[in-house]
Amino acid sequence: MGLLIVILNYRTGGLTVDCLRSLVGKLDEVPGTRVLVVDNGSGDGSSAQIAEAIAVNHWGGWCELMALRDNIGFAAGNNRGLATLQTTYKDCEWVLLLNSDTVVHAGALRLSHQVMRAESKIGMMSCLLLSSDGTTQNVTRKFPSPLRQILCAFGLPWMFPKAFGWADVYDVPEAQLTVKRDCDWLGGAYMFLRRDALEQVGGMDESFFFYGEDIEFCFRFHKLGWRVHYDPGASILHIGGSSSDPTRVGKKQKNIFMWQARYQVQRKCYGILAAWAVRAGDISAFGFRKLKMLLTGKTRTDSYRNVSDALGLLLKPLRP
């Protein structure tokens, strides 16, 4: 039974071609591997660039391009790829959601497949993610429960790590990135999925446009009893942020997407009261920081401007 790799492209044509090139010679690590590139209404010519690369390099035997008319968001774009499991790729038992700004190293597909076959309760897994400079990226995080988020908003896990370090949702000790283990949630750059689990859990929540969908996705896997696993025994290169850099998404719009996702995760996973509590905590935390800077005369700093901008966003409806 084969593997379907879904790569979502949004205005990263060159990077997507590089990602496809990195897969050449590695597809036989999982027998029956096919690749589907979904262009998310890029409108910049990258769809044609990818189609040309597939034709020129004779990748058509294992790679297909699906071009969407509009940018429908990260979750919905990936779901259009996942929908082909019911039509074109009915025989695929495994799925890999792979970011376009990645380079797949030898052994990553093989290891993921072997781990998933050996551990029948793992529904999703990821591997070691490396930056261009060779440093390790933190792909594993804790679920952002309301209490954790509020404590982080006030900076308590970093100011008083002995008392509140348990609430740090963002980072893990460097040593943990070299240890295979189960975790709360995985970043969406490399998500190797068991089809049986996917069909039970369902696709990504399309009410998320950008950011947060990976948290809610993993939350549902846990809720239904599936393990979410990390194994650094293999690796990929992940550039990161390519579809959301300033040339593709404006800074203000990107910030709004991030704040929207923050409260949407709370609402979807913990309820509406949790979303309002976390937003109130954020407003209070930023208000306290701004007041402190006013009293200490630090009003001409970048930190003051950033705090003021964030507070201004949160005191109004969050609309892109």
Lowest mean pLDDT among 19-33, 52-66, 292-306: 292-306
Rounded Cα distance between 309 and 314, Å, is 9
Query: Taking the mean position of all CA atoms in its chain, how far away is CA 289?
Result: 29
More confident residue, 251 or 300: 300
Angular region, 205: left φ>0, alpha ψ -120 to 50, beta rest: beta
> Which of these, 50, 52, 51, 62, lies nearest to 24 by C-alpha position?
62
Question: Would you state the pLDDT for residue 249?
Answer: 60
pLDDT tens per residue, range 189-204: 999 999 999 999 999 9
The CA radius of gyration of the chain, in Å to the nearest whole number, is 20
In this prediction, residue 281 has a pLDDT band, given cuts at 50, 70 and 90, of very high
Rounded Cα distance between 154 and 50, Å, is 45
Per-domain boundaries in the chain: 2-244, 251-314
Work out whether strand 2-9 and strand 92-99 pair parallel, antiparallel, or are unpaired: parallel
Provide CATH code, domain 2-244.
3.90.550.10
Cα-based angle 145, 98, 140 (whole degrees, multiple of 5): 30
| pTM for the structure as a whole | 0.93
Lowest mean pLDDT among 66-70, 84-88, 134-138, 193-197: 134-138
Rounded Cα distance between 108 and 120, Å, is 19
Q: What stretches of the chain show up as alpha helix (H) in DSSP?
A: 13-23, 46-56, 74-82, 108-118, 146-153, 156-159, 161-164, 195-201, 213-223, 251-270, 272-295, 302-314
Question: Would you state the pLDDT for residue 145?
Answer: 97
Rounded Cα distance between 63 and 43, Å, is 21
Question: Would you state the pLDDT for residue 172?
Answer: 77
Rounded Cα distance between 312 and 70, Å, is 30
Question: Would you state the pLDDT for residue 318?
Answer: 83
